[in-house]
């Protein structure tokens, strides 16, 4: 019989090695015993797995602990437990189970060593809840990293959330706990019950590696299959390279269009409408604000606690796979926001996961974000790096997304980010750079860079050098970087009354001083249309006509400017109020021809950007840009050439005053003898006044202007941008 001290430890859920007691064991004399801990069971019989015949009944020794010696058998055998439960516990009829404690360790020693040493790049293949089959028995293998825990149990809908039923096996070499639980299946809810080293019973923890989660405000993890590998589209590498047009439509899935009941849309409802709409406007990519599971709607997903789980807000995870497929079918790439900088401190999450600061730094000067009241990952810890880098690979390889827009990179780069003197810890060299975070990002970008066509985009708001330079050249290895300086400067300019813009002319030109120091993306993101900043339409000065004209001119300026493009949803049709995450976009505005005109313009700008190589091919190289005039502050006129490096050119001209200018003499490069207007943001088609140059060719004249020997005489529409190409 089991020793009394072992029995007491099992009943009190404090036994450090339940596999040494439960299941089938031989005593010192070689006699076989079967033991089971099944609180709530009325009777337990042991059946021969091969024949189904009853071998014996187990006697209840105390409080749901059953045991008995095996008669007439001296060799181990495969068995099942036939369990009848007390009323109100589980089913009234006897149920037959394979015994969890009849199974050997699930993870191989080499796998655990690879994880502990940082050699396992895809730790999600080991951890979480994995559907497996042993012989004819199907179930789930659970594994979790909790090196400082005294005891870890899987609790869930399959065991009455009772931590005594399924305490896990501790694999000491890596601090990993594992267990195979037969008969658990897809859709079952679960958490981890963890006892800290000091004996404290922690709040139930969601699985850091869960592939699905319960709908908030509930917080359980949910068993879901590991998505199969998703091979990249054949043309992904070409579509995402620097020389290709990349125009991104940023989406908050909850509020692009609400579901039929006014709640969250499903992935399938989004797939039926969103990809066609985005592709119809000529965008090349959809970028989704974070879709990993998060507890609070108002964080917009940026405070995530389920990095591996597509949020339950939009239905089951497989719906996201169908959404990605629908985007691919419309020729769109898919980017998702990825948040490795921090995580919220909700009790069911990663904070003090095993009773210690496991995923986060213990010192609040390193481990706590004052701005967001969140915890900061311990970027230098091997197992945390595996968690984060594996997650980056998971979304690309398993869900088929094209890449990641990495959030809050600046907060990761600097130890003194948003901290006063004395509130931060210098690095080992005494500097402010976060060397561990920098190493993590370089490693992550190198791994992502090994996947054909996959890309990463940094939201980085400082002048940190080499964000999009390759790691072998000392850079961080991102493929693109958001140009936050360009965005801030140009929006400040646009907010000025046109009569004052002459005094702020440099705000529109300063960005060209550094425009080719990184592979830049020009972002008009959700951050620019929340927290009292107003919408893009409300940022524009003047009466209603001028607001629309200014906005159209600015979009023309943006699409003609070097750099990839990003526009947040709703701004393509001049949404009037700032974005509200709890409601859908005001689609009724499209009944107004002025709003519809802005939408048509964005579509035509995207098509021009894609169809004219000079507007995109050298987006990131200085050879693709040449000023015609950057000094005409008195008239608030800007003009430049875009080149594709293969002989094609586009001339971009902006007039940021409401004064039309006829006969404006603009210098042009030698060669072409005629130019033709191919885009005019003041066209009546877009709701403008229809001032411009029409379809007739503009003949080059031998009259010098802007330091050039030849020129053309242009009519510049009020508050407008023109694109011209050689006729």
Residue 379 lies in a domain: yes
- Say whether both 194 and 329 belong to one domain: no
- Say whether both 78 and 216 belong to one domain: no
Residue with tokens 């008669």: 71
Assess contact for 127 and 157: CB atoms under 8 A.
no
Residue 360 lies in a domain: yes
Residue 258 lies in a domain: yes
Start-to-end CA distance of the chain, whole Å, equals 96
On the question of a cis peptide bond just before residue 217, with omega within 30 degrees of 0, the verdict is yes
- Say whether both 609 and 626 belong to one domain: no
How many Cβ atoms from other residues are within 10 Å of residue 431's Cβ? 12
Last residue of a domain, one of 87, 102, 117: 102
The DSSP string of 681-715 is TT-GGGTS---S--SSPEEPBS--BTTBSEEEEEE
* 128 SS3 class: strand
- Summary mean pLDDT of the chain: 96
Look at residues 228, 215, 327 and name the one whose alpha carbon lies nearest to residue 270: 327
Report d(CA 680, CA 464) in Å as an integer: 37
- Using alpha carbons only, give the angle 47, 52, 56 rounded to the nearest 5 degrees: 25
Assess contact for 386 and 120: CB atoms under 8 A.
yes
Residue 228 lies in a domain: no
pLDDT at 233: 87
Residues of the chain with pLDDT under 50: none
Residue 231 lies in a domain: no
Helix pair 544-560, 593-611: axis angle to 10 deg: 10
Last residue of a domain, one of 102, 131, 163: 102
Residue 230 lies in a domain: no
The catalytic residues are 407, 459
Look at residues 200, 144, 195 and name the one whose alpha carbon lies nearest to residue 15: 195
pLDDT tens, 418-476? 999 999 999 999 999 999 999 999 999 999 999 999 999 999 999 999 999 999 999 99
pLDDT at 45: 96
Look at residues 222, 217, 223 and name the one whose alpha carbon lies nearest to residue 347: 217
For residue 681, the enclosing domain spans: 622-726
- Say whether both 39 and 95 belong to one domain: yes
Number of domains in the chain: 4
Look at residues 571, 502, 581 and name the one whose alpha carbon lies nearest to residue 535: 571
How many Cβ atoms from other residues are within 10 Å of residue 140's Cβ? 23
Look at residues 382, 374, 450, 449 and name the one whose alpha carbon lies nearest to residue 412: 374
Give the rounded distance of the alpha carbon of 235 from its chain centre. 22
Residue 288 lies in a domain: yes
Determine if the pTM surpasses 0.75: yes
- Say whether both 488 and 370 belong to one domain: yes
Phi, psi angle pair for 685, to nearest 5°: -60, -30
Assess contact for 223 and 185: CB atoms under 8 A.
yes
Residue 80 lies in a domain: yes
Phi, psi angle pair for 380, to nearest 5°: -85, -5
Residue 686's CATH number:
2.60.40.1180
pLDDT at 88: 66
Report d(CA 572, CA 593) in Å as an integer: 13
- Say whether both 439 and 548 belong to one domain: yes
Report d(CA 117, CA 129) in Å as an integer: 22
CB burial readout 148-159, b (16+ within 10 A) else e: bbbbbbbbbebb
- Say whether both 32 and 144 belong to one domain: no
How many Cβ atoms from other residues are within 10 Å of residue 386's Cβ? 24
Report d(CA 612, CA 725) in Å as an integer: 9
Strands (E), 560-709: 564-568, 625-632, 637-643, 649-655, 661-668, 674-680, 698-699
pLDDT at 540: 98
Would strands 661-668 and 403-406 be described as parallel, antiparallel, or unpaired?
Answer: unpaired
Tokens of 110: 């080499």
- Say whether both 357 and 495 belong to one domain: yes
Assess contact for 478 and 445: CB atoms under 8 A.
yes
Can you give the three-state secondary structure of 487-538, one letter per residue? Answer: HHHHHHHHHCCHHHHHHHCHHHHCHHHHCCCCCEEEEECHHHHCCCCCCHHH
Report d(CA 148, CA 562) in Å as an integer: 52
- Say whether both 94 and 134 belong to one domain: no
With residues binned 3-state (H G I as helix, E B as strand, rest as coil), the percentages for the chain, rounded to 5, are: 30, 25, 45
- Say whether both 626 and 606 belong to one domain: no
pLDDT tens, 372-389? 999 999 999 999 999 999
- Say whether both 369 and 504 belong to one domain: yes
pLDDT at 1: 87
Report d(CA 525, CA 679) in Å as an integer: 24
Report d(CA 208, CA 427) in Å as an integer: 28
pLDDT at 16: 85
Residue 607's CATH number:
3.20.20.80
* Burial class of residue 406, CB neighbours in 10 A (0-12, 13-18, 19+): buried
H or E, element range at 559: helix 544-560
pLDDT at 173: 83
- Say whether both 74 and 128 belong to one domain: no
Would strands 455-458 and 403-406 be described as parallel, antiparallel, or unpaired?
Answer: parallel
- Using alpha carbons only, give the angle 570, 575, 577 rounded to the nearest 5 degrees: 120
Report d(CA 165, CA 159) in Å as an integer: 7
| Residues in CB range of 686: below 8 A, 6 or more apart | 552, 597, 598, 600, 601, 604
Residue 123's CATH number:
2.60.40.10
Sign of CA dihedral 256, 259, 263, 268: negative
Return the biggest CA–CA distance within the chain: 111
Last residue of a domain, one of 102, 136, 159: 102
């Amino acid at each position: 019989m089991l020793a009394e001290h072992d029995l007491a430890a099992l009943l009190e859920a404090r036994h450090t090695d339940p596999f040494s007691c439960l299941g089938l064991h031989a005593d010192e004399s070689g006699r076989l015993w079967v033991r089971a801990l099944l609180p709530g069971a009325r009777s337990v019989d042991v059946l021969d797995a091969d024949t189904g015949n009853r071998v014996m009944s187990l006697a209840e020794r105390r409080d749901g602990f059953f045991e008995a010696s095996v008669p007439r058998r001296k060799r181990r055998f495969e068995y099942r437990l036939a369990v009848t439960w007390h009323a109100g516990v589980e089913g009234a009829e006897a149920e037959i189970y394979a015994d969890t404690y009849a199974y050997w360790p699930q993870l191989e020693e080499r796998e655990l060593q690879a994880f502990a040493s940082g050699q396992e790049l895809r730790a999600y293949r080991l951890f979480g809840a994995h559907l497996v089959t042993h012989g004819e028995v199907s179930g789930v293998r659970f594994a979790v990293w909790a090196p400082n825990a005294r005891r870890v149990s899987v609790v869930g809908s399959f065991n009455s959330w009772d931590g005594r039923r399924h305490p896990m096996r501790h694999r000491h070499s890596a601090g990993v706990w594992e267990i195979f639980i037969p008969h658990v299946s897809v859709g079952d809810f679960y958490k981890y019950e963890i006892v800290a080293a000091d004996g404290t019973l922690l709040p139930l923890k969601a699985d850091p590696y869960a592939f699905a989660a319960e709908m908030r405000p509930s917080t359980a993890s949910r068993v879901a299959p590991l998505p199969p590998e998703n091979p990249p589209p054949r043309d992904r590498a070409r579509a995402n390279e620097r020389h290709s047009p990349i125009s991104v439509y940023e989406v908050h899935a909850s509020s692009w269009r609400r579901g039929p009941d006014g709640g969250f849309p499903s992935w399938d409802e989004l797939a039926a409408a969103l990809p066609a709409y985005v592709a119809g406007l000529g965008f090349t990519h959809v970028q989704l604000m974070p879709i990993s599971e998060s507890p609070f709607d108002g964080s917009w997903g940026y405070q995530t606690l389920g990095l591996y789980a597509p949020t339950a807000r939009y239905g089951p995870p497989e719906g996201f796979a169908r959404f990605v497929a629908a985007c691919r079918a419309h020729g769109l790439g898919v980017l998702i926001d990825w948040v490795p900088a921090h995580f919220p401190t909700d009790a069911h999450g990663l904070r003090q996961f095993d009773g210690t600061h496991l995923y986060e730094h213990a010192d609040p000067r390193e481990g706590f974000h004052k701005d967001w009241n969140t915890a900061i990952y311990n970027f230098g810890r091997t197992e945390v790096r595996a968690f984060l880098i594996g997650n980056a690979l998971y979304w690309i390889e398993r869900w088929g997304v094209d890449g990641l827009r990495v959030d809050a990179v600046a907060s990761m780069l600097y130890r003194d980010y948003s901290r006063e003197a004395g509130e931060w810890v210098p690095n080992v060299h005494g500097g402010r750079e976060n060397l561990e975070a920098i190493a993590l990002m370089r490693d992550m970008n190198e791994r992502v860079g090994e996947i054909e066509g996959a890309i990463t985009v940094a939201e980085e708001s400082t002048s940190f050098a080499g964000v999009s330079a390759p790691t072998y050249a000392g850079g961080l290895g991102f493929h693109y970087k958001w140009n936050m300086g360009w965005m801030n400067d140009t929006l400040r300019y646009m907010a000025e009354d046109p009569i004052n813009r002459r005094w702020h002319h440099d705000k529109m030109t300063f960005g060209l001083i550094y425009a080719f120091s990184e592979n830049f993306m020009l972002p008009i993101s959700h951050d620019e249309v929340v927290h009292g900043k107003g919408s893009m339409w409300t940022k524009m000065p003047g009466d209603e006509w001028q607001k629309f004209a200014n906005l159209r001119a600015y979009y023309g300026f943006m699409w003609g400017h070097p750099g990839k493009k990003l526009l947040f949803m709703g701004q393509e049709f001049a949404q009037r109020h700032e974005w509200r995450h709890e409601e859908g976009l005001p689609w009724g505005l499209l009944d107004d021809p002025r709003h519809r005109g802005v939408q048509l313009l964005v579509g035509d700008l995207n098509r021009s950007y894609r169809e004219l190589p000079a507007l995109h091919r050298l987006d990131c190289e200085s050879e693709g840009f040449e000023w015609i005039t950057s000094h005409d502050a008195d008239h608030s006129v800007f003009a430049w050439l875009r080149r594709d490096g293969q002989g094609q050119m586009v001339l971009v001209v902006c007039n940021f005053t409401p004064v039309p200018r006829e006969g404006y003499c603009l210098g042009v490069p030698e060669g072409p003898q005629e130019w033709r207007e191919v885009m005019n943001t003041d066209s009546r088609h877009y709701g403008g006044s229809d001032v411009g140059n029409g379809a007739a060719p503009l003949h080059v004249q031998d009259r010098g202007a802007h330091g050039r020997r030849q020129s053309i005489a242009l009519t510049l529409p009020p508050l407008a941008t023109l694109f011209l190409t050689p006729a």
